[in-house]
Amino acid sequence: MAQSKKRKTVKKQNSVFYRNMVVLAIFILSFLMVLLKNRLGFIGNIVAQGYFIVFGLTAYIAPLLILLFYFVISKKLINNDNKFKYLSIVLLWINALLIISIFFESDASFGQRIKDSYSLAVNDYSGEGFLGVLLHYPIKKLIANIGIYILTVVNIFFAYLTFFNVSFNTLVHNWIFRAKNAKEKIKERQFERKQEKYLPKFEDDLEEVVETPSRKPKINFHRPDTDIEPNAVVEPIEEVIKEGDKGQFEMVEKPYEEIDYEYPPIELLSKALRNFKSDSSDVLQEKGRIIVRTLQSFGIEAEVVNINSGPTVTSYEVKPSAGIKVSRIVNLSNDLSLSLATSGIRIEAPIPGKPYVGIEVPNQNKDTVSLRDLFVNGDFEKKDSDLTVALGKNLFGKPIYAKINEMPHVLIAGATGAGKSVCINTIIMSLIYKYSPDDVEFIMVDPKMVELSIYNGIPHLKGRKVVTDPARATNALDFAVREMIDRYEKFSKSKCKDISSYNENVLKRGEKKMPYLVVVIDELSDLMMESSKEVENHITRLAQMGRAAGVHLIIATQRPSVDVITGVIKANIPSRISFQVSSQIDSRTILDMAGAEKLLGKGDMLFYPAKFPKPMRVQGAFVSDKEVERVVTYIKNQDIIIEETDDFNEAIKQNNKMKDDKLDDRDELLDEAIEFVITEDQASISAIQRRFRVGYSRAGRMIDQMESLGIVGKHEGSKPRKVLKDVSYLTQSDMQDEELVDEDFEDEFSE
């Protein structure tokens, strides 16, 4: 049975092949007959006359078009993506018939025009053809010849849009931009003529030297990847999950894998939309000339050597003449912004490794860097143990990746909407795309309760839940510290120095390897307000000792002030990422230098790893919430079971109970004293003595207990203590007490 089916299939394929070859030969022969007319004998003459009788002068292309549509229909090549392209071909053919009919039309009746068309086709191989008469006669009655011309222009415009995948809005924007650019050039030429008339002659000579063709700067364009389609369509999540196809990162064999983890397919991420409005070379050259002229007007001789066009920013490498101080160029940033009619100009003086000054100017038309664009790059697909994550693209359009092992901890700061949360999502997505729960585990802390909650339930996450309660967040950090200490004890027993050597040894013995632990804190300021001492101590210990144990910190805050990012935390976290901040002071707090206040927002960042002498400007990759949701849904549907999931939750609960036991010996008037201090906004021993009629020592103990709870600040000599909490803390503490009572009741009931 199987052989007979196979023979039938082969016979069917052969018959289709021979049929296609016969059809191809017939249409090629008919095309030659139309082209050569009566030179191919009696049959050639008859076939040529037949084509001209039906199609008129369009008979020269009719055989080719008929052959094209035969193969398109037989091969079923028409789909939703290209159906308008084939429709535009048919419309253009119809328009050609109508235009030809206009030149051969007469006032004769319909029947007479058919006869005239027949005689022209038979005698002269010309005319409008039967199809031309059938189309032109009624359409002319409806819209006249002027309407046919308008319809032809519209059809040509429609064909251009469909064949080149250009939207109508994009085309209109390009026309408007070119019109404005031409208008600006006319104004500039008028201005230059006035300068030539009124300025001294030596300035004209100076301008000629700057704009000589031999000194024309080299332009390096940022090009989007060729495999990115202009209109990206992502498959539905249900279809991808049903298929269960593994992504490109599963191709590397792993020496040991206990968990059957299916890596998310790359199809879950959206493709980038290609921008057809990128700044042209003429626009970039013109901006370079404006920079040179502006510097000349302040007595600085310089030339633009290179122009590097990135996704959102273009860097102009300027070479100043001998004897020019670099600081003079840096001080002219506002004047350059005025000349270029833009904002956010950043000057890098000098560029590391080059004898040039970099002037970074925002692009008029910006490109979006997609996360999928970075994932399909070969550098990211390589499987390694360095925890490689994708960040974005630099000023040259080159993908930028960071190795968490080399960082080894990173501090992220930026104002609201600058791209901080998207950057955290990019880092997390990079790790869960490349590494299984055997390789990487997360502890996620999100006091805002909205940014990281989407990751609840993934097997990489300790406890399968993001920690949102600030009190439990401190306990989670304490758990990370104890986990780090336990790892060092295992290293000591195995005589290993770090996690890499330890994993090599256990894999040789066939045992389970130790995963990396990445602690992600989305808002540090909320934790510092809750209990600054404990949080600072835990972060310091993890930052100092975590690298060898495979524990890494990713800490983000939107308020990079010194009371949040303390000196101890900054000293132990060497790598920094800064997005747009509100002031130069915030920029100096996070980067130890100015510059972050001039960023553009929307993913524009300064990446400052530990080994770099200066920060690198990067356009961060964009990943939407829908993309994250698709990937998380795909991973959660695998139903992976982790044994240690309950251990993390129990550790946090036990830690809470230990804290409650320590507070059992607190003063019975402490709650009333806390309410008094917060409502009166006054924290002093004498005030508590007068209000509650207690002694000095008892009032002092209550103040000390408030300090340990993070309600009042430290003792500052003669100055009064600061009250760190407001009235909302009272309602919050009441709600937490009710939750603890409910948990105790549930525990007793389960027992």
For residue range 295-320, what is the model confidence (pLDDT) as tens digits? Answer: 989 888 888 988 888 888 888 999 88
**CB under 8 Å to 468, separation ≥6 — which residues?**
445, 446, 447, 449, 453
Q: Are residues 15 and 157 located together in one domain of the fold? A: yes
pLDDT band at 444 (very low <50, low <70, confident <90, very high): very high
Task: Find the CATH number of the domain harbouring 707.
Answer: 1.10.10.10
The two most distant CA atoms of the chain are separated, in Å, by 128
Cβ atoms of residues 300 and 206 within 8 Å: no
How many Å apart are CA 388 and CA 505, to the nearest integer?
23
- Give CA torsion, residues 60, 66, 69, 75, to 10 deg: -120
- The proportion of the chain whose per-residue pLDDT surpasses 90, expressed as a percent, equals 12
In terms of domains, do 160 and 204 share one? no
Instruction: Give the pLDDT confidence of 223-247 residue by residue, as tens digits.
Output: 555 444 433 333 443 444 344 444 4
Q: Say yes or no: 280 and 139 in one domain.
A: no
> How many separate domains does the chain show?
3
- Domain encompassing residue 30: 11-164
Dist. CA 299–CA 305, nearest whole Å? 19
Q: What pLDDT score does 140 carry?
A: 81
- Helix, strand, or coil (residue 501): helix
Supply the pTM of this predicted model. 0.57
* 547-600: pLDDT as tens digits: 999 999 999 998 788 878 888 888 889 899 999 998 888 888 888 888 888 888
Candidate ranges 95-109, 347-361, 631-645; pick with highest mean pLDDT: 347-361
Helices assigned H by DSSP within 495-566: 499-508, 524-549
Query: Is residue 314 located within the same domain as residue 205?
Result: yes
Report yes or no on 693 lying in a domain. yes
What is the rounded average pLDDT for all residues in the chain? 78
Q: Where is the domain boundary, 362, 378, 403?
A: 362
- pLDDT at residue 214, as a whole number: 39
497 forms beta bridges with none
Q: Is residue 293 part of a domain?
A: yes
> In what side-by-side order are the strands of the sheet with 575-578?
399-403, 388-393, 616-620, 604-608, 575-578, 410-413, 551-557, 516-521, 440-445
Same domain, 284 and 138: no
d(CA 57, CA 65): 14
Better pLDDT: 644 or 69: 69
Q: Do residues 101 and 204 both lie within one domain? A: no
Query: Which residue among 362, 394, 422 closes a domain?
Result: 362
If pLDDT is split at 50, 70 and 90, which confidence band does 77 have? low
Per-residue DSSP letters for 569-592? HHHH--EEEE---SSHHHHHHHHS
- Is 659 domain-assigned? no
Give the relative orientation of helices 333-340 and 281-297 as an angle to the nearest 10 degrees: 130
With respect to residue 30, please indicate whether it lies within any of the assigned structural domains. yes
696-722 average pLDDT score: 82
Render the burial of 522-539: b for 16+ CB within 10 Å, e for the rest. bbbbbbbbbbbebbbbbb
User: Which of these ranges, 27-31, 665-669, 737-741, has the smallest mean pLDDT?
Assistant: 737-741
Helix axes 41-55, 110-124, angle to 10 degrees: 150
Distance from C-alpha of 177 to C-alpha of 203, rounded to nearest angstrom: 31
Determine which helix (DSSP H) or strand (DSSP E) holds 403, and give its type and residue range: strand 399-403
Q: What is the pLDDT of residue 165?
A: 67
Task: Name the band, by pLDDT with cuts 50, 70 and 90, for residue 746.
Answer: very low
Q: Which of 41-45, 81-85, 463-467 has the lowest mean pLDDT?
A: 81-85
Helix ranges (H only) for 199-332 are 201-210, 237-243, 281-297, 326-330
Residues 6+ apart with CB under 8 A from 230: 165, 273, 274, 276
- Residue 338 clears pLDDT 80, i.e. is over it: yes
Residue 55 sits in the same domain as residue 143:
yes
Residues 6+ positions from 271 with CB-CB distance below 8 Å: 228, 229, 232, 233, 234, 370, 372
Residue 304 lies in a domain: yes
- Give the dihedral sign, CA 348/353/356/358: negative
User: CATH code at 306?
Assistant: 3.30.980.40
CA 64 vs. chain centroid, Å, equals 45
SS3 412: strand
Report the sign of the C-alpha dihedral through residues 197, 202, 206, 209, in that order. Answer: positive
Q: Domain check: are 79 and 217 in the same one?
A: no
Q: Is residue 684 part of a domain?
A: yes
Mark whether 49 and 125 lie in a shared domain.
yes
Q: Is residue 332 part of a domain?
A: yes
DSSP string, 534-549: HHHHHHHHHHHHHHHH
Mean pLDDT value across residues 469-493: 88
Residue 223 confidence (pLDDT): 53
Where a domain ends, among 137, 164, 191?
A: 164
pLDDT, tens digit, 9 for 90 and up, residues 372-390 = 888 887 667 765 667 889 9
Same domain, 286 and 154: no
pLDDT class of 217 with cuts at 50, 70, 90: low
Residues 39 and 128 in one domain: yes
In a domain, 707, yes or no: yes
pLDDT at position 583? 87
d(CA 386, CA 410): 15
- 160-165 mean pLDDT: 73
| Number of residues written out for the chain | 751
255 pLDDT band, cuts 50/70/90, is very low
Rounded CA gap, 538 and 572, in Å?
12
- The answer to whether 385 and 297 have CB atoms below 8 angstroms apart is no
> Which pLDDT score, from 0 to 100, does residue 749 have?
37
* Best-predicted range by mean pLDDT (341-355, 594-608, 713-727): 594-608
Packing angle, helices 168-198 and 201-210, rounded to 10: 140
User: Which DSSP category does 664 fall into?
Assistant: G
255 within 8 A of 383, measured Cβ to Cβ: no
- Do 50 and 138 have their domain in common? yes
Mean pLDDT of 118-132: 84
Residue 419: partners with Cβ closer than 8 Å, 6 or more residues away: 579, 601, 602, 603, 604, 605, 620
